[in-house]
């Protein structure tokens, strides 16, 4: 089937769905210029080791190195914009209130910037900070804590020396309980799930696609390359998200 024929078939399937869940990954932001993780040449993990940069242990061993890497990613995010794929999802939500839930593994905030509401951000947010260890005073880091740090140095608490770290979910860490619970509810009650721009290699996020399928939802995968979730898909739309989502959701 050609891409345009598959888009038409998928569009029909979505039109019949009372509730749609979207599971997005790094690929949806690729056309905004944000690098993915696992693409062969351009993915971040093609040249860097996650265990050196995206674990609590890495931060404890080398806080400066990890802080610098996140500072670079934060700075480059300031230069990018949501693309037509993010916008198509947000516009669909506005036309059909309550019908589509966005579940994302992305920490780039582009779904939210495109205007999507109620986004379930399973892996946290690159824009936010939190303490590395629980704060004995029970407060979160403030802009003052961050501003007080030497330029370029990871901020620390003036009282106890606790480090400030990015509020993202690192390998080996638990997902935010409330977001995961809501994502599981959306996956088990949806009639159709759109799996967009994810390799489907990281759990528990990828498990949501299995959960949706097991509960009877139709799965549509949008990805220019094969993914680990292809076997669950009723339809595969082999193309980029910014190309495929606008005609798919134009109703
Ligand atoms: N449109 C849609 N999909 C695309 C596009 C595009 N324009 N370009 C690339 N892709 C696909 C790739 O083919 C790949 O399957 O996006 C997927 C990106 O996969 P990953 O880089 O593994 O990203 P993701 O699945 O989101 O990773 C999950 O891994 O390292 C962690 O915490 C990180 O949230 C991330 C998690």
What pLDDT, in 10s, does the model give residues 105-164? 999 999 999 999 999 999 999 999 999 999 988 888 877 777 677 777 889 988 889 999
Q: Which of 194, 231, 214, 173 is nearest to 102 (CA)?
A: 194
In the chain, what percentage of residues exceed pLDDT 90?
87
Q: Which residues contact 49 (CB under 8 A, 6 or more apart)?
A: none
Q: 230 CB less than 6 Å from ligand 1?
A: no
What is the total count of domains within the chain? 2
For residues 184 and 248, state if they share a domain.
yes
For residues 44 and 107, state if they share a domain.
no
**Quick one: 2 exposed, middle or buried, by C-beta within 10 A (0-12, 13-18, 19+)?**
exposed
Q: In terms of residue numbers, what domain contains 67?
A: 35-79+126-168
What pLDDT, in 10s, does the model give residues 56-112? 999 999 999 999 999 999 999 999 999 999 999 999 999 999 999 999 999 999 999
CATH number for the domain that contains residue 55: 3.30.1600
* Cα 147 to ligand 1 centroid, rounded to whole Å: 33
Q: 124 CB less than 6 Å from ligand 1?
A: no
Q: Please, are residues 100 and 89 in contact by the beta-carbon 8 Å criterion? A: yes
For residues 237 and 130, state if they share a domain.
no
| Residue 123 bears catalytic tag | yes
- What is the value of pTM for the model shown? 0.96
Identify the active-site residue in 47, 86, 123, 225.
Answer: 123
Residue-level pLDDT at 251: 97
Residue-level pLDDT at 9: 98
Q: 199 CB less than 6 Å from ligand 1?
A: yes
For residues 19 and 91, state if they share a domain.
yes
For residues 225 and 137, state if they share a domain.
no
* Cα 6 to ligand 1 centroid, rounded to whole Å: 21
Quote the radius of gyration of the chain (alpha carbons, Å): 19
| Ligand 1 pocket, mutate which of 7, 31, 32, 38 (most atoms under 8 A from CB) | 38
Taking residue 184's Cβ as centre, other Cβ atoms within 10 Å add up to 17
Please give the Cα distance from 197 to 206 (Å, whole number): 12
The DSSP line for 223-247 is -SS--TTGGG-SEEE-S-HHHHHHH
Q: Which of 251, 243, 189, 197 is nearest to 220 (CA)?
A: 197
């Amino acid at each position: 089937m050609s891409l345009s024929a598959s888009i038409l078939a998928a569009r029909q399937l979505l039109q019949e769905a009372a509730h749609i869940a979207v599971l997005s990954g790094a690929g949806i932001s690729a056309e905004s210029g944000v690098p993915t993780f696992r693409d062969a040449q351009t993915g971040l993990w093609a040249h860097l080791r996650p265990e050196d940069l995206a674990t609590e242990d890495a931060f404890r061993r080398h806080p400066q190195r990890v802080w610098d890497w996140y500072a670079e990613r934060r700075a480059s995010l300031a230069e990018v914009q949501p693309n037509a794929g993010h916008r198509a999802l947000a516009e669909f939500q506005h036309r059909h209130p309550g019908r589509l839930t966005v579940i994302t593994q992305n920490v780039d905030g582009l779904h939210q910037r495109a205007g999507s509401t109620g986004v379930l951000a399973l892996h946290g947010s690159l824009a936010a900070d939190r303490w590395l260890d629980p704060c004995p005073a029970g407060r979160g880091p403030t802009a003052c804590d961050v501003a007080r740090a030497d330029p370029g140095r990871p901020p620390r608490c003036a009282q106890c020396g606790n480090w400030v770290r990015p509020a993202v979910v690192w390998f080996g860490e638990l997902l935010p309980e409330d977001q995961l619970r809501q994502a599981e509810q959306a996956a088990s009650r949806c009639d159709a799930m759109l799996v967009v721009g994810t390799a489907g290699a990281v759990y528990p996020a990828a498990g949501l696609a299995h959960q949706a399928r097991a509960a009877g939802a139709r799965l549509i995968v949008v990805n220019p390359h094969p993914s680990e979730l292809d076997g669950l898909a009723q339809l595969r739309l082999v193309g980029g998200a910014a190309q495929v989502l606008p005609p798919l959701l134009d109703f």
